[in-house]
Amino acid sequence: MRSRANQQGSKTMSTLLQQLNDDLSGVVSRVRRSVVQVSDQRGGAGAGTIWHPDGLIVTNAHVIAAGGPLRVTLSDGRVFSAKVLARDVNRDLAALAIEASDLPVIEPGDSRRVHAGQWVLAVGHPWGVREAVTGGIVIGAGRDLIELASATGRDWLAVALHLRPGHSGGPLVDVHGRLIGVNTLMTGPDVGVAVPVNAVKQFLRQGLGSEHPAPSPEASATSPEPATDFV
């Protein structure tokens, strides 16, 4: 009886793990379509997240810090010139626009619901590897990150995963594929930091007048450059 029960238990666990694997693979497939590569005139590149189907893209301010022409490459290989609509270097966020439509977007989540121990996925282009995925768990959120929050006056998400150069500006999503943050920097060997998605919504409201604006050529003022270790 015990042997049969053990076999049934092993089969159930195997089925659950396979279902989890299939679910996460589906999430990754959907999310990757909404991740772009942002390149500057120096050849430096980071990631970006499609926020609006008509070409609004969110990335990090430090990804575009070099200035000059910007190029956005979609997951399907199409390449577009990009305009900077708004930038906040204190929050390390930037909004870009490309002349495109019907683009796939990631459903924004609610970072107030993010909690320690939650599984997350980060997507970007580390070392030129397109749409690479890494996973980990949330280890802190909001102003619980006392040292970082007190230094910046901002809320953040800290995750136990390794962000590499090229992950900056890419999405941090939950296991359902909802956007909960924008990958930004490393604070230790295996601790990545992301801007919470609710801060992204606030940035867009302040810079563009709406959480879901259609792209506009209007650009807002920038703020002073912060000192930190970006990826």
Whether residue 220 lies in the annotated active site: no
Closest CA to 108 of 34, 4, 39, 55: 34
Residue among 34, 39, 111, 168 flagged as catalytic:
168
Residue among 88, 92, 155, 174 flagged as catalytic:
92
| 3: DSSP letter | H
C-beta of residue 201 within 8 angstroms of C-beta of residue 81:
no
Name, in order, each residue with C-beta under 8 angstroms of 228's C-beta and a sequence gap of 6 or more. 92, 152, 185
Closest CA to 74 of 106, 42, 97, 48: 48
Whether residue 168 lies in the annotated active site: yes
Please give the Cα distance from 171 to 106 (Å, whole number): 9
Element holding 14 (H helix, E strand): helix 2-32
CA dihedral in degrees (154, 160, 163, 167; nearest 10)?
-70
Residue among 34, 39, 40, 62 flagged as catalytic:
62
Name, in order, each residue with C-beta under 8 angstroms of 93's C-beta and a sequence gap of 6 or more. 58, 59, 60, 61, 87, 182, 195, 199, 200, 203
Q: Is 42 left (phi over 0), alpha (psi -120 to 50) or beta?
A: alpha
Active site residue ranges: 62, 92, 168
